[in-house]
Structure 1
Amino acid sequence: MATGKKHTNAGVTHYECSLHGLLNNDHEPQLRTRLEALCGDTESAHRELHHEISCIPCVETPIGPLRREDHVLRLRIEMDPKDPLNPNKAANTICLLGHPEPRSGRGASVRPAIFAQVFSGNAPQFLSLLGYKYNSEFVRKGYWFLYRNTFKIIVSQIYQLEEEGSVQSAQLADPQGSWIVQVSADALSQEQVPRMCEQLDELKSLFEDYVELVVVDHAFLESKIPYN
């Protein structure tokens, strides 16, 4: 059985504050140069390659208010870019992203999040034992920088899998080759959220020549269960 061991802030609810933008493929090299200047040299870039599988409850909750308590669980498999098909070099994390705040006026999107790293055993089987089943999956590939040791800037492209579970069958989801830019930071308590959102809002000006970073409508971040 897979087991999740606690490490710093693991298993503890924190609040993900984030901004998102869509970057034209032609502008990606300029943005990367900008990030290298802001965050350090080329050695400060980290490769981003993960396979994310979303899982939903096996038993459908009856229609009613209790359905809002149902959540999607995500198995995030971070692969070694140098050896992506080697499962022994992959890091598995179970993610629970809660309902985003519907309140307007924030400088960023805000939602609670819990992460639990799986250190041993079969992670998909563990999710099955928790009463969850496969729903969908994708691969995210790109790179990320850390700004001021607080803000994680991820620049990535999304790939769809043509064959279930087969990373080798991944194809670029957007034929135009657009990139998704996500700037996020974690607030460890509700009290930290306002200041973190203010700082994210201030960061937007650093990237305005390349990409427009916006607060995503909370409806698009809802973890709704697609019951049939």
Structure 2
Amino acid sequence: MATGKKSANTGIPTHYECSLHGLLANDHEPQLRTRLEALCGDTESAHHELHHEISCIPCVETPVGPHRREDHMLRLRIELDPKDPLNSNKATSNICLLGHPEPRSGRGASVRPAIFAQVFSGNAPQFLSLLGYKHNFEFVRKGYWFLYRNTFKVIVSQINRLERQGDVQSAQLIDPQASWIVQITADALNQEQVPRTCEQLEEVKALFDDYVELVVVDHAYLENRIPYS
């Protein structure tokens, strides 16, 4: 059964994800990690990042027309134990709905609404199938993350494709140069908090200027549209 914490006013667990992204060359990663350890604590402050993410789309395609815009892609994010990745009892699953990003160019960060519902028991992929969704694509994200000022999550990771569907052990790096993706995210609990959260992200961004260029991703790349063929 999938459930999520409901907000007091709307009953919908929606928040706004504010983020910046950058691409880091493999040989610069140790310097960035040292910087993060200095800002966030010692080496024990780092948390392992091992996520298997599965994108799902509706089994039945909505006919061409205005109602097609109401179709959404759902993501199943499975957080695995790096020391025992095949043990499903140690995995945590969340169904994610990422809304369309704000197209406003004046923001200092990418902003999009997000809803998360944790799957506490049962078979999460089967649950999505019962909701009328099917497998679209998947990938594995490996790396680590730090929490800065208990607010800003700094994720340093590499994206892997799966040679065999559903087989995490078949993961292979997508980028032959083994580059790292750096992502800083902060959550705004409502729209009123978004401007201040974006301003704070710009301030945090300056702490990493000597290591990686963090930018606002073009909203077109973050659109949550269904890739109907």
TM-score range, shorter chain: over 0.9
CA pair 172-11 structure 1, distance change in 2 beyond 3 A: farther
Task: Give the Cα–Cα distance (whole angstroms) in 2 for the partners of residues 107 and 139 of structure 1.
Answer: 28
Query: For 1:153 and 1:106, how far apart are their aligned partners in 2?
Result: 19
Q: Deviations over 1:118-159 (max 9, x none)?
A: 000010010001010000000000000000000000000000
- SS of the aligned residue for 1:29 comes to helix
Partner of 1:112: 113
Contact 1:11 1:115 (8 Å CA) reproduced:
no
Distance, in Å, in 2 between the alignment partners of 1:144 and 1:161 is 22
Structure-1 residue corresponding to 2:2: 4
Pick which of 200-209 and 210-219 moved more: 200-209
Number of aligned positions between the proteins: 226
Please, which moves more after superposition, 75-84 or 5-14?
5-14
SS at match of 1:27: helix
Could you tell me which runs of 5 or more consecutive residues in structure 1 were left unpaired when the two chains were aligned.
Answer: none
Deviation at 1:68, TM superposition (A): 1.5
Structure 1 residue 8: deviation in Å?
7.6
Structure 2, unaligned stretches of length 5 or more? none
User: What pairs with 1:77-116 in structure 2 (closer than 5 Å)?
Assistant: 77-116=78-117
Deviation at 1:11, TM superposition (A): 5.2
Asked if the contact 1:16/1:111 (under 8 Å) is kept, the reply is yes
Matched with 2:33 is 32
CA shift for structure 1 position 5: 3.1
Q: What whole-Å deviation, never above 9, does each CA across 1:149-197 have from its counterpart, x for those lacking one?
A: 0000000000000111111111001010000000000000000000000
Contact 2:5 2:13 (8 Å CA) reproduced: no
Q: Is the 8 A contact 1:11 1:116 kept in 2?
A: no
CA distance in 1, matches of 2:126, 2:12: 19
TM-score normalised by structure 1 residue count: 0.97
For residues 27-82 of structure 1, what are the alpha-carbon distances to aligned partners after superposition, in whole Å with 9 as ceiling and x for unaligned?
A: 00000000000001111100000100000000101111212111110000100011
- Other-structure match for 1:180: 181
Deviations 1:207-226 (A, max 9, x none): 01110000000000001111
| RMSD (CA atoms) | 1.2
The code of the aligned residue for 1:194 comes to P
For residue 85 of structure 1, what is the amino acid of its counterpart? L
The 5-angstrom pairing of residues 48-197 of structure 1 reads 48-197=49-198
Aligned counterparts of 1:142 and 1:75: Cα–Cα separation in 2: 19
